[in-house]
Homo-oligomer: A and B are copies of this chain.
């Protein structure tokens, strides 16, 4: 139930709908692709524009340079991070909001129906198409829209805000972790909780809050034999073939049903509690959502909760590919000399990359020993990230739940996601504060695909949600 102040804010958002869409159109028109050196200038353009918008709203903000990187063979400046704040009232809570203003690459010729860097509003479907509309310019502007609406109707902001907006999220967030650690006791001092709006509803109908992410442990399994690739006619049947060894070992990591065969992995997984178990039953989700997203009917189970838990709360092991083998079309008859299999596990509490690394390495070495090959094997752990799990009973979540109920009239799903958003873990670990993932868009927005979209209703109601969430924080006793 909205208070009268909240109602004034909500009404103002509705009244200014056209202005908010204009703001998003301006943001989308700047092609701030971080992964292509030719577009780097637009990342700076985007940072300048966003900084100006923040300052126009009264925020104190600055561009933090992150140094240089080598991209496409050139040494170029990294896009800056925008650090800013609005309000320093010691009686109010301070909420750190994170977003990113860079986007994935997009060309009309990739198959887009519209120009990717021109926001196209389709009245019939209520959707706005454009690169960055949902990932992550819409959500960033949601915060700005909410502040603006407060000012337009003469409302005081209920909390102090800090902003951390980066321009390299789509390209590995180079330099961000170091900045957060370096600014821990300066810029980030005094933060009470963190809110990140950079993910999506589980489905397309019901909002959600996300309180967990899986971690990752990535491995390269290298097997080498001959000094050079060999002709299978001449050497087939003569030498131990690295590919045969690799298939033998990698086939022993996981079954076709997805069961991980590495001893000790299962035992690391935190047991399912009754409270958690109940959440999966009420989630806005059906197998057809997966079928729609994957374009196939290949779920590991026909049971909704099993599939959800497969994504959210259990580890998995995927085989990604092989470096060094024949990968082109056609029919080459090669015995590859050195092949590197790539696989990764997604981690959940209480797995850690270190413990998983230890178990995987031991098992792979044992299995390689069993086949008595004369080839040479090495297994290396490439990159690892811990799983993240926040307490959804924290006031940060309580506020978001209440705000969602007011805006959408429904209790949000409490979800965990299967992938990782590394900055989440960095904030949680470095600041030691509760982090909330509060998505604006829907599961079918196509964040990294062609025809990325944001529903107008998600943009407008999502903006209201971000504003009300701040009110609900202030209302927490």
Contacts and interface: CB of A to CB of B under 8 A. Distances in A.
A258 interface: yes
Contacts of A214: 233
B233 A244 contact: no
A346 B237 contact: yes
A320 interface: yes
Nearest to A301: B238
B322 A419 contact: no
A374 interface: yes
Contact of A255 (B243, B248, B294): B248
Given A235-B418, A342-B331, A419-B233, A241 B319 contact: yes
Contacts of A328: 323
Interface residues of A, number: 80
A265 interface: no
A233 B323 contact: no
Given A225-B298, A258-B240, A346-B237, A333 B311 contact: no
A267 to B, nearest CB: 17
Nearest to A295: B227
Interface in A253-293: 254-258, 290, 293
Contacts of A233: 214, 216, 346, 417-420
Contacts of A375: 298
Given A251-B248, A311-B235, A327 B331 contact: no
Contact of A258 (B241, B247, B254, B323): B241
Given A238-B310, A240-B300, A247-B251, A322 B320 contact: no
A310 B235 CA distance: 9
A238 B290 contact: yes
Interface of A: 214, 216, 218, 220, 225-228, 230-241, 243-245, 247-248, 250-252, 254-258, 290, 293-300, 307, 310-311, 314-323, 325-329, 331-336, 342, 344, 346, 371-375, 382-383, 417-420
